[in-house]
Every structure is written in structure tokens, then in C-alpha cells.
Structure 1
Amino acid sequence: MGRKILLGACVFFIPFFQVVAQEARERYLGLDALLGKDSFFDNHLTGFMLFDLDSQTVQYDKNSHLHFIPASTTKLLTFFGSLLVLGDSTTFLRFIPKGDDVVIWGTGDPSWKYPPLPQPKLEGFLKQYGRVFFSDTNWKDNAFGYGWQWDDYYYSYSAEKSPVPLFGNTVTSTNINNRPHLSPALFQVSVSEKPIRNVQRDWHSNDFYYNPRTYNGMNAKIPFITSQQTFVTLASLDWQKEVIRSNEDLPPDHFVLKGIPTRALFREMLMESDNFIAEQLLLQISDEVFKELNAEKAINYIKKTYLFDLPDEVLWVDGSGLSRHNLVTPRSMVALVEKIYRLLPDEELFALLPTGGRTGTLKFNYHAPVPYIFAKTGTVSNNHSLVGFIRTNGKKVYAFAFMNNNYPYKASVVRREMEKVLLYIRDNF
């Protein structure tokens, strides 16, 4: 009797599994028609992986073992390391009182007078002291990241790194009576005329130029050259306190001034692809682990401690992805976002990431009545990537990495074809 029941069950399940296998095959073939041989994505270097987070199975793979320039999807590496190291709030300053005065060391916190971010409680701290001595002996880095393009120096997305940034390390140019007025006002005396476009800064100095004949009057943000002297001058004016240079080393026993919620940094970095915040986050990781500011040490620490089990070696050199020396495989990117997925609840994570058709860098792409793409974009000339999560009509969530390098057309053309792929996944998986 038992054998008859077992035989009947087998007869029932065999057709069921055949149907499931056939549906999976049809889904795969449909996706392969969009991504495989003779498709649009067969005309340039494309890597793609779709991963089922529930069954832990790869649903589709195209060149996922090859290394690609990740551009701003590099920020997901920075985000992951920050989640594990920094905790719920930043450390704004390290300090030791010296009688009525105080000596401070920076931690890389970028928040002071940086409009997208909440402000640390600095005024109450400063009121306790007379003079402020600023030491940068814990600064073990360079103002620019490895491999950044030198001629990006006057664009806001390439602001310099520093121990205690002020105003996002940028000057704001505002049009008043058809002449640029700079803030902080310290830089206004350095404005002169030159046959250039809009407002630009000299390569080697904090001298600014504009052309009265072609000045377009648009507001602009231009990075200034950072230094210990520039900091103490700006801080003295902004804090209305005497700030003096110091070369004192950070002692083991010192105090910390807490800063702002790290979620505010994460959201701005991921939503708006803020390079400056990404770079400063790496410095904060280094400060937390080593009590010095060194992005390279932070990267090596994260790789050895938390990313040692990725499928392929990650060539990672900066926090933002500005450098073309960064190289990552799609399958390592999928492994990375799976790690992130296990750290945060779905809705909390998806609220930090750009949402297709709704928020951040995806606000004008991947429109749908019900959002289905939650992912980080990455674009530099002739390279575009999208890494994150897709939610299907069946309410399943898949991790994916979609990486395109060395194409000879506009990024909008690539995005349009990518959308066809992602819509197919949404509707059929």
C-alpha cells in the first residue's frame, strides 16, 4: 500500500518539475536573447550577473569573471566598510584641553557647513575654550585620490580631501550685478578677469577668474586648495575664534567630539553619488581603526578583514570611483551587495539607495508605477554600471550587477537597452 502511495506521488511530481524546468529554461532563453550573442550587449564589453537571494543560485551570467571599471558603484565598497566600522554616528574631532585652550585633530568628518548634511554641535564645544590649536600630524594622505584626472581640479565633484573640511572644501560663486561673488568671502579678493568660461580657479593657487564678456551668471561650486594654513584662516573667520597651527601628535589618551548620524552620510553619498562624502568616509574609517587619516590603509583593512572571500580580487584605490584604476568583476559586486543585503532590513536598505523613477541618480530612469530598481549607478566616459537589487512582479528580490565598459555611444543609449533587460526580469522572474 505504501509503495502505491509513493509511486502515485512520484507520478504527480514529475510533471510538476518538468513544468518548472521548462519555465526556467524559457526565462533564461528570453534573457539570453537580450544579453547574449548578436544582442546590443554583444557589441561592447558587458558583464552581467543575476542572483537569486533566496535560493542562492545564479540565474544568468555573462562575463561576470572579467574585471570592469566600476565608476561610482565603487561607493558600495565604501558604504559596506563604513557600515561595519563607523557605527551610528561619526566622530567629528579628537581633542585635548590645554588650560583655557584646546588642541584638535580632524577625523575626516565632512559635515561642517556642507549644506546636504546636518550640523555637529560645534558652537557649544568652542565656547568652552579660548584659543584653538589645530594639528594635522595624523594626516597621512594626499588631497587627491590615486588616478584622479588632473584637469578635474576645478569641478565640484573633485573637491580635495582634508582632515577637517569646511564648506565641503568648495567655494560657492553667486551672481550679484553680473559679477561672481565668492563664499567664503576670504576668496573674493582673489577674483580677477581672464578669458575663460564661467568661473574657474588657477591650477596652482586659490586665485579665481571670470570673463565679464562671457560670464553666464550661473551659480557654481569650485574646489579650493586645502592646507593647514588655509584651514586655520577659514576656521578663525567662521568660528570667530583664534585658530592656530600646531604640530602636536595625537596622544593615546584624548577626548572625542561626536558628530552626526552616519545614515545621513550614507544616504547623501548613495543617492546623489557624492564623491566628496565617499572620500571622507574612507578617512573616517582610517581614523576609527588607526587613529590616522590614510585612505589606502582603510581600503586594505576592509579588503583583508571583510572582503577576503569575494570571488575575485578587487582593485580598489579610492572611495568614490573617480579613478579608472578601480577594477571589479560583476560576480564580486553581486557578492558585495549580498553582504550589504544581510546587514540591513530591505526597506531600510532600499531607502538609502536610488530608486528607479523616484529618487537620487535614478530619478529620471527606470520609471514604473511600482518601483522595481534599487541600485547604485556609476558613469564615467564610455563606461556605465548599475549594481543593486531588482524586485519582480512576484515580489522576489534579486541582486544584480550590470557593467558596461568601452562603448562608443552615449550612456543614454546603453541605459535604454539595459532597461529592456531589467523589465524582462521584473515581468518574468
Structure 2
Amino acid sequence: MSLTKKILFIFLLFCFSQFSYGQLTRDQYLKLESALGDQSFFSKHLSGFELYDLDSQTVVFERNSEQRFIPASTTKLFTLFAGVSILNDSTQTLRYTTQGDTIRIWGAGDPSWGYKELYQPEFKKFLAPFQTVIFSDANQDSPAFGYGWQWDDYYYDYSAERTSLPIFGNLVQVKRNGNRPVVSPKVFQSSVYPTQRSTRELERDFHSNRFYYNPNNFRGREEFIPFIYSPELFTQLASEATGKTWIYQSDSLPKENQVWRASPLLPILKEMMLESDNFLAEQTMLMVSDRIFQRLDTERAIEYLLKTYLFDLPDKPQWVDGSGLSRHNLMTPRTMVALFEKIYRMLPDDQLYELLPTGGVSGTIENSYQAQEPYIFAKTGTMSNNHSLVGLIKTKSGKIYCFAFMNSNYPYKASVVRREMEKVMVMIRDML
């Protein structure tokens, strides 16, 4: 082969590698480069993207896919994977031992009891044979709040405490009656006080279950407020709910015990994913830990999962909680895609689509990515200066691709970033 032909051959190979990246034509590649590259909206802040063909198992396009981002609630995809892998189809509700008419209970993390419209464990039926219920939370190692959570989120419903056996989602419900709040459980009503502070909602004291409202401008728009857990408060609420006397004793969980798996897992995972419910995510990780270790230790469960089920991710994630509330979580787009592919291979299609928010239809993207035929099925993640989307895109040709689109350190509203992301996703839908 002559020198000229060799040079031409090398040039053509170079062109092919540059302009036929994966399945893209030259024009398609340049369009994506223009939309995501150095002169685009996304060049003004840290942004990463990967588009992946699930059929051929190849990367179609990527930009900064090796960079680490704060994933916010897309962290819940890790929790979804953990829940499906470890818990299978049922919750971990209780561990217990019995002796005569006495039952000793250790919570296993199940968040269902009295929370939302979830399937309710039949506590009254389960406890019917017993006169005395002795409860212990000595099997919980994880603290009430996660590593890196913001301290001033304490009075928002998305930051309820993690406990071994929650009741009512560890929340006080607030309803407006004229210019005053009515709360439930009723035990908290006597701790509601008027104040002249300029607050428009019922607010809880930082250190206690004392609640304050201003009767002159009370709006009552915040429907739920976290309460501070204590064993004494819990046993009081549990006694009232079951008609049994619950007694608290901080006893260690014996090696020989029985497990009550009282609720289906899918409704919890569905609510967690569609509504991005932080409480359900955190409690799911406690259940995972209980299933593996008979201890409630999210950190230990995460370490185990990363060393076993997730050892082959492209970039080791810094994963610290179940919900994504922590700014210490760090993941790369290509790791999010690899994780999602595992979920995709694990779950039946109908179940997977049931769990994923659908653009213009359901969940956290009900008002975004709208189209006559839905084309985005993905989990969102948003906190101050961070917004991500990870999931599936269905293109005009009918093909399904996996993608991760992550953004950090932008100085504007998330809605601005979301609109620009939508332009990119529409372009991908239409050209592939």
C-alpha cells in the first residue's frame, strides 16, 4: 500500500471514530456536541451526560461522564436496587421472641404503620395472643438523621427521623380549623401554643415537641411536621394504636429470633420513586441492613452492597444515605447508567415502568417532558444548585436508551436547567 493510501486509510479511520461514535452519524454527533459542548448552555456549569444503548450494550454519546456529581434524589436508584436485591417482595417489619403471654419486639425498619395509603401491617391481629408487649430499639445503630443532612430541614416533612419501628411516618399531621391548627396524633395537641412570631405555619421547636403558630396569619399549608422520637413517646402511640400495653426496655436482640414480614414491598418502592419520598428511602435501607445483619445500620449495608452486588461499577460511588439528602453523595453519570442497567435487567418491564416517573404523566416529572406519547421514564434528583435525571428515553424509532444527565454548581433556578435539558432530550428522541 502506497504512503498516500496509508494516510487516507488512517484519516478515514479517524473520521469514523470521531463521527460514527457508537450509532451516531456525523450530523447526529455534531448536534449533540453543539447541544452539550463548550459553547452550549451546559458549559457554564459542571454538567455530565451519557447515552447508552441497552440492546448493543454500547455508549452512544458521553460528555464528562467520568466526573462526579451530587446526585440528590437519583440516589434512590441505589436504594431501589438494594431493596429489590435484598428484600425481594416483602418488608422487614419486626424481629421478636415470645414467652407465655409476653412478646418482645425489635423494629426492623418497616415504614408502613399509619403512613400514607400504604398497605397496613395487621398489628392488632399479630399481637392478639399477647397481654404484654416489650419493645426495644437497641438494634438500631444509625442515628435519626443521616450524614451530611442540613440541620435546618428538621421541621420539613421530607426530613423525618429514621427509627426502627416508625409510626405515622414519624410525622404530626396538621389541619386548619379557622385561625388555629388541629393536629394528630391527639397527644400533640396539648403542646400547640400561640405566638406573636411572624411565622405563617405551625412550627416545631428545634429541641422539643412543642409547636407554635401565629393566630393572626396562620395558613396551615404545611400538612406534616416531623416529631422528635423518644422510646417513651413511641410506646405511648403504639399502645393507643393497638390497645395493648407497650413497655420499653433497651434489650439486645438475641441471635435466635423470629421475623414478621408484614407488608408488600412494591407499594413502598413505588411511592419512594414516584414521589421521591425520603423517609421511605431511608427506612428501606434500614430494612436492607436488618435483612443482612439483623442490625439497623445504613452505612454498613451500603459498604456491603458496594463490595458485593455493585463491585463492578465504572467509578466507585460515594454513597452515604438512602434518600440523597446528603451532599456527601457523589456519583458519575456512567456509574448511574451502569446501576440503572442492572435494575433494567433485574425487573420485568411492566414493573420497572410502574416504578419510574413518566414525563407528562406521573411522579416528579408529571409537569415536565410532556408529549402526546410519553418518552421519558426517569428518576429526578434536585437540591440547591444540583439537578439530575437518570432513566430511559424512548425515541421516535421505538428504541429504548438509558441515560444519565447530571448538573451541579449552577447559579440559577432548577427550572432553567430543566428546560434546557428537555431541549436536548427532545432532540435525541426525534433524531434517534
| TM-score (norm: length of structure 1) | 0.94
The equivalent of 1:111 in structure 2 is: 112
Report the counterpart of residue 9 of structure 2 in structure 1.
none
1:89 partner amino acid: S
Distance (Å, rounded) in 2 between the aligned partners of 1:26 and 1:347: 35
Point out the more displaced range, 213-222 or 331-340: 213-222
TM-superposed deviation, 1:127: 1.3
**1:27: which partner in 2?**
28
Aligned residue type for 1:397? I
Specify the SS of the correspondent of 1:91: coil
Conserved 8 A contact 1:121-1:259: yes
1:217-232 equivalences under 5 Å are 217-218=220-221, 220-232=223-235
Q: For 1:217 and 1:320, locate their aligned partners in 2 and report how far apart those are by CA, in whole Å.
A: 26
**Which residue number corresponds to residue 304 of structure 1?**
307
**Percent identical:** 56
| 1:136-155 correspondence runs (5 A) | 136-155=137-156
Residue in 2 that maps onto 1:286: 289
Q: Deviations over 1:245-302 (max 9, x none)?
A: 1122222222222221111111000000000000000100010000010111111111
User: Deviations 1:76-102 (Å, cap 9, x if unpaired)?
Assistant: 011111111001111211111121121
- Report the equivalent of 2:277: 274
Which residue number corresponds to residue 183 of structure 2?
A: 182
In structure 2, stretches of 5+ residues that fail to align are 1-15
Per the TM alignment, residue 197 of structure 1 is displaced from its structure 2 partner at its CA by: 2.8
Q: 2:123·2:242 contact (CA, 8 Å) conserved in 1?
A: no
Say yes or no: does 1:387 pair with 2:401.
Answer: no
Partner of 2:10: none
Partner residue in 1 for 2:13: none
Say if 1:154 and 1:222, in contact at 8 Å, map to a contact too. yes
Pairing 1:255–2:258 present: yes
After superposition, what is the alpha-carbon deviation per residue over 1:349-405, rounded to whole angstroms, capped at 9, x for unaligned?
111100000000010000011111010000001110000111111111111000010
Q: Is the 8 A contact 2:200 2:220 kept in 1?
A: no
In 1, the alpha carbon distance for the partners of 2:105 and 2:85 equals: 26
Match of 1:339 among 315, 337, 342: 342
Q: Retained in 1: the 8 A contact 2:46–2:410?
A: yes
The residue type paired with residue 194 of structure 2 is E
Corresponding residue of 2:78:
77
Counterpart for residue 55 of structure 1: 56
What is the CA deviation profile of residues 404-423 of structure 1, one whole-angstrom value per residue up to 9, with x for unaligned ones? 10111111111111011101
Equivalent residue, structure 1, for 2:324:
321
* Matches of 2:351 and 2:89, distance apart in 1: 14
Cα 1:152–1:219 shift into 2, 3 Å:
closer
Equivalents in 2 of 1:150, 1:268: separation in Å? 25
Secondary structure of 1:285's counterpart equals: helix
Q: Distance in 1 between matches of 2:154 and 2:200?
A: 15
Do residues 400 (structure 1) and 403 (structure 2) align?
yes
Answer whether contact 1:75 1:321 (CA < 8 A) is retained: yes
Distance 1:410 1:248 in 2: 49
Mapped pair 1:199 → 2:202: yes
Q: Is 1:128 paired with 2:129?
A: yes
Report the more deviating stretch, 22-31 or 202-211.
22-31
1:199–1:220 contact (8 Å) kept in structure 2: no
Runs of 4 or more off by more than 2 Å in structure 1?
20-23
Equivalent residue for 1:102? Answer: 103
Secondary structure of the 2:262 match is strand
Per the alignment, residue 361 of structure 1 pairs with 364
Give distance in 2, aligned partners of 1:255 and 1:23.
56
Displacement of 1:346 in angstroms is: 2.2
Counterpart CA distance in 2 for 1:341 and 1:25 is 29
Count of residues in Structure 1 that have an aligned counterpart in Structure 2: 412
SS in 2 for 1:104: strand
Residue pair 2:179, 2:217 contacting (<8 A) in 1 also? no
163-172 or 229-238, larger mean C-alpha shift: 229-238
CA contact (8 A) 2:24 2:60 kept: no
